[in-house]
Chains A and B, each alone.
Chain A
Amino acid sequence: MEFTAPVLNYAQLAPILIVLGGALIGVLIEAFAPRASRHSSQLFITIASLVAAFAALVRVRNQASVDAAMGSVAFDGAGVLLQGSILIIALLSVFLIADQENFTALAAAVPGSSEERESLQRDLRVTEVYPLTLFAVAGMLLFPLSSDLITLFVALEMLSLPLYLMAGLSRRRRLMSQESALKYFLLGAFSSAFFLFGVAYLYGYSASITFAGIQSSVIGGSGNDVFLLLGIAFISVGLLFKVGAVPFHAWSPDVYQGAPTAVTGFMAAATKVAAFGAILRIYYVAFANAQWQWRPALILIAIVTMVFGSVVAIAQRDVKRMLAYSSIAHAGFLLAGVIALSKSGLDASLFYLFAYGIATVGAFGVVTLVRDSAGEVTDLNRWSGLGKRSPLVASVFAFFLLAFAGIPLTSGFIGKFSIFSAAYESGSTWILISGVLSSAIAAFFYIRVIVLMFFKDPVEDGTSVVIPSALTLTTIVVTSAITLLLGVFPAPLITFIESSAFFIR
Chain B
Amino acid sequence: MTTSTSLVYLIALPLLGATVLLLAGRRSDKWGHLLATALSASSFGVGLYQLSQMLARPTEERAVTQKLFSWINVGTFNVDAGLLLDQLSICFVLLITGVGTLIHIYSISYMSHDENRRRFFAYLNLFIAAMLLLVLGDSYLNLYVGWEGVGLASYLLIGFWNQKPAYATASKKAFVMNRVGDMGLSFAIMIAFATLGTVSFSGVEEASHTASKAALTAIGIMLLVAATGKSAQFPLQAWLGDAMAGPTPVSALIHAATMVTAGVYLIVRSNFIFDAAPTAQLLVVIVGAITLTFGALVGTAKDDIKKALAASTMSQIGYMILGAGLGPAGYAFAIMHLLTHGFFKAGMFLGAGSVMHGMNDQVDMRRYGALRKFMPITFATFGLGYLAIIGVPPFAGFYSKDAIIETAFNAGGVKGILLGSTALLGAAITAFYMTRVMVLTFTSKQRWEDNQHPHESPLLMWAPMAILAVGSVTTGFLFTRGDALVHWLSPVVGEHAEGENLLLQPIVVSGLALLAVAIGVAIAIMKYQLSEVDAIAPHDVSVFTRIARKDLLQDSFNEAVFMRPGQALTSLLVKGDQNVVDGAVRGIGRTALGAGSVLRKTQTGFARSYAALILIGAIVLIAGIWVVTQ
A contact set with B: CB distance below 8 Å: 182-183, 186-187, 190-191, 194, 225, 229-230, 232-234, 236-237, 241, 246-248, 250-251, 253-254, 292-294, 296-297, 300-301, 308, 310-316, 440-441, 444
Report the nearest A residue to B626, measured CB to CB: A229
Chain A residues near B70 (CB, 8 Å)? none
Contact of B621 among A191, A233, A254, A440 (CB under 8 A): A233
Q: In chain A, what residue has the closest Cβ to B619?
A: A233
Contact of B624 among A250, A251, A296, A312 (CB under 8 A): A296
The DSSP consensus for interface residues of chain A is: helix
Tell me the complex Cα distance, A183–B611, Å.
Answer: 10
B617 interfacial by beta-carbon distance below 8 Å: yes
B316 to chain A, nearest CB (A): 48
* CA A229 to CA B628, docked complex, whole Å: 10
Top 10 nearest A-B pairs by Cβ distance?
Answer: A315-B596, A247-B617, A250-B610, A297-B624, A314-B596, A233-B622, A183-B607, A296-B628, A311-B596, A315-B597
| Contacting residues of chain B (579-630) with chain A, CB-CB under 8 angstroms | 585, 588-589, 592-593, 595-597, 599-600, 602-603, 605, 607, 609-611, 613-614, 616-618, 620-622, 624-626, 628-629
Which residues of chain A are within 8 angstroms of B613 by Cβ–Cβ distance? 247-248, 250
CB neighbours (8 Å) of B600 from chain A are 312, 315-316
B593 touches A293 (CB 8 A): no
What's the Cα separation between A301 and B624 when bound, in Å?
10
A441 touches B588 (CB 8 A): yes
Let me know if A248 and B603 touch, CB within 8 A.
Answer: no
Contacts of A194 in B (CB 8 A): 614, 618
Assembled-state Cα–Cα distance A441/B629 (Å): 33
Residue of B nearest to A232 (CB): B625
Q: A190-B614, A229-B622, A296-B628 are in contact. List 7 more A-B contacts (CB 8 A).
A: A233-B618, A237-B614, A254-B603, A311-B592, A312-B600, A315-B597, A440-B588
Whether B616 contacts A311 by the Cβ 8 Å rule is no
B621 A301 Cβ-Cβ under 8 A: yes
On chain A, the residues within 8 Å of B609 by CB distance are 250
Q: Which of A186, A233, A250, A444 contacts B603 (CB 8 A)?
A: A250
B593: A residues at CB distance < 8 A? 314-315
Interface residues on B, range: 20 to 34
A315 contacts across to B, CB distance below 8 A: 593, 596-597, 599-600
Choice from B588, B607, B621, B625 contacting A186 with Cβ under 8 Å: B607
Query: When chains A and B are docked, how far (Å) is the Cα of A253 from the Cα of B602?
Result: 12
Alpha-carbon gap, A294 to B602, bound state (A): 26
Contact B607 A297 (CB under 8 A): no
CB-CB under 8 A from A308, the residues of chain B are 599
Contact between chains at A191 and B614 (CB < 8 Å): yes
Collect the chain A residues with CB atoms within 8 Å of residue B588's CB. Answer: 440-441, 444
B592–chain A nearest beta-carbon distance, Å: 5
Which residue of chain A has the shortest Cβ distance to B624 in the bound complex?
A297
Tell me which residues across on chain A come within 8 A of B610, comparing CB atoms. Answer: 183, 187, 250-251
Q: Is the CB of B614 within 8 A of A247?
A: yes
B605 touches A254 (CB 8 A): yes
Q: A233-B618, A250-B613 are in contact. Are A312 and B625 (CB under 8 A)?
A: no
A248 contact set on B, CB distance < 8 A: 613-614, 617
Q: How far is the CB of B73 from chain A (nearest CB, A)?
A: 15
A255, chain B: closest CB distance, angstroms = 11
Residue contact B625 to A297, C-beta cutoff 8 Å? yes
Contacts of A294 in B (CB 8 A): 625
Q: Using A247-B617, A314-B596 as known contacts, say yes or no to A293 and B628 having CB atoms under 8 A apart.
A: yes
- State the Cβ distance, A439 to closest chain B Cβ, in Å: 12
- What residues of B have a CB within 8 angstroms of the CB of A182 in the complex? 607
CA distance A125 to B620 in the complex (A): 46
Give the complex CA separation of A395 and B625 in angstroms.
46
Q: Return the chain A residue nearest B612 by Cβ.
A: A250
Instruction: Let me know if A292 and B592 touch, CB within 8 A.
Output: no
Per DSSP, chain B at the interface is helix
Q: How far is the CA of A191 from the CA of B593 in the complex (A)?
A: 31
Q: A186-B607, A241-B614 are in contact. Are A310 and B625 (CB under 8 A)?
A: no
Q: CB within 8 A of B599: which of A251, A292, A312, A444?
A: A312
Docked pose: A488 CA to B243 CA in angstroms: 40
Q: Which A-chain residue is minimally distant from B610 (CB atoms)?
A: A250
**Interface residues in chain B, defined as those with a beta carbon under 8 Å from any beta carbon in chain A:** 585, 588-589, 592-593, 595-597, 599-600, 602-603, 605, 607, 609-611, 613-614, 616-618, 620-622, 624-626, 628-629
User: Which B residue's beta carbon lies closest to that of A308?
Assistant: B599
Instruction: Give bound CA distance, A453 to B485, whole Å.
Output: 65
Chain A nearest Cβ from B542, distance in angstroms: 57
**Cα of A296 to Cα of B607 in the assembled complex, Å:** 29
Q: Which of B592, B602, B626 contacts A441 (CB 8 A)?
A: B592
- A444–B625 contact, CB under 8 A? no
CA distance A186 to B592 in the complex (A): 31
> Which chain A positions have C-beta within 8 A of B585?
444
Contact B621 A312 (CB under 8 A): no
Least CB distance from A437 to B in Å reads 9
Q: Which residues of chain B are near A444, meaning CB under 8 Å?
A: 585, 588-589, 592
- Give the contacting residue for B614; candidates A250, A293, A313, A440; CB below 8 A: A250
Closest B residue to A189 by beta carbon equals B611
Q: In whole angstroms, how far apart are the Cα atoms of A62 and B200 in the complex?
A: 46
Q: Is the CB of A311 within 8 A of B625?
A: no
With beta carbons under 8 angstroms apart, the residue of A191, A233, A314 that contacts B625 is: A233
Q: Which residue of chain B has its CB nearest to the CB of A236?
A: B621
In angstroms, Cα B607 to Cα A473, docked, is 37
CB distance from B119 to the nearest CB of A (A): 27
Q: List 8 A-B contacts (CB under 8 A).
A: A194-B618, A229-B625, A248-B614, A296-B624, A311-B596, A312-B599, A314-B592, A315-B597
Min distance, Cβ A17 to any Cβ of chain B, angstroms: 34
Report B-chain residues with C-beta under 8 Å of the C-beta of A247. Answer: 613-614, 616-617, 620
Give the distance in Å from the alpha carbon of A316 to the alpha carbon of B592 in the complex: 12
Once bound together, how far apart are the Cα atoms of A100 and B614, in whole Å?
Answer: 35
CA–CA, A342 and B593, complex, Å:
36
Question: Which of chain B's residues have a CB closer than 8 A to the CB of A300?
Answer: 624
Q: Are the CB atoms of A253 and B603 closer together than 8 Å?
A: yes
A297-B628, A300-B624 as given contacts; A186 in contact with B589, CB under 8 Å: no
Nearest B residue to A246 via CB reads B617
Decide: B622 and A312 in contact? CB cutoff 8 A. Answer: no
Nearest A residue to B622, CB-CB: A233
The residue on A at minimum CB distance from B597 is: A315
Contact B596 A297 (CB under 8 A): no
Q: Are A234 and B605 in contact (CB under 8 A)?
A: no
Alpha-carbon gap, A312 to B592, bound state (A): 8
Q: Which residues does chain A contribute within 8 Å of B611, judged by CB atoms?
A: 186-187, 190
Q: Could you tell me the distance in whole angstroms from the C-beta of B513 to the nearest C-beta in chain A?
A: 61
- A251 CA to B609 CA in the complex, in Å? 11
List B contacts of A187 (CB < 8 A).
607, 610-611, 614
Measured between alpha carbons, how far is A503 from B570 in the docked complex, in Å? Answer: 56
A223–chain B nearest beta-carbon distance, Å: 13
CA distance A444 to B594 in the complex (A): 13
Q: Once the chains bind, are B618 and A237 in contact (CB under 8 Å)?
A: yes
| Distance in angstroms between the alpha carbons of A225 and B628 in the assembled complex | 12
A182 to B602, CA, bound (A): 19
Q: Quick one: given A186-B611, A311-B592, A444-B592, are A229 and B629 in contact (CB under 8 Å)?
A: yes
Bound CA span A183–B613, Å: 14
Contact partners of A301 in chain B: CB under 8 A: 621
- Chain B positions within 8 Å of A233 at CB level: 618, 621-622, 625
- CB-CB under 8 A from A292, the residues of chain B are 628-629
Identify the interface centre among A247, A300, A301: most chain B CB within 10 Å of its CB: A247
- CA of A297 to CA of B617, assembled, Å: 11
Complex Cα–Cα for A338 and B620 (A): 20
The docked-state distance in angstroms from the alpha carbon of A440 to that of B587 is 13
- The answer to whether A314 and B589 have CB atoms under 8 Å apart is yes
Residues on the A chain within 8 Å of B603, using CB: 250, 253-254, 312
Contact of B592 among A229, A230, A296, A310 (CB under 8 A): A310
Give the residues in chain B near A246, CB-CB below 8 Å: 617
The reply to whether A293 and B625 contact each other, CB–CB distance below 8 Å, is yes
Q: Report A-chain residues with C-beta under 8 Å of the C-beta of B592.
A: 310-311, 314, 441, 444
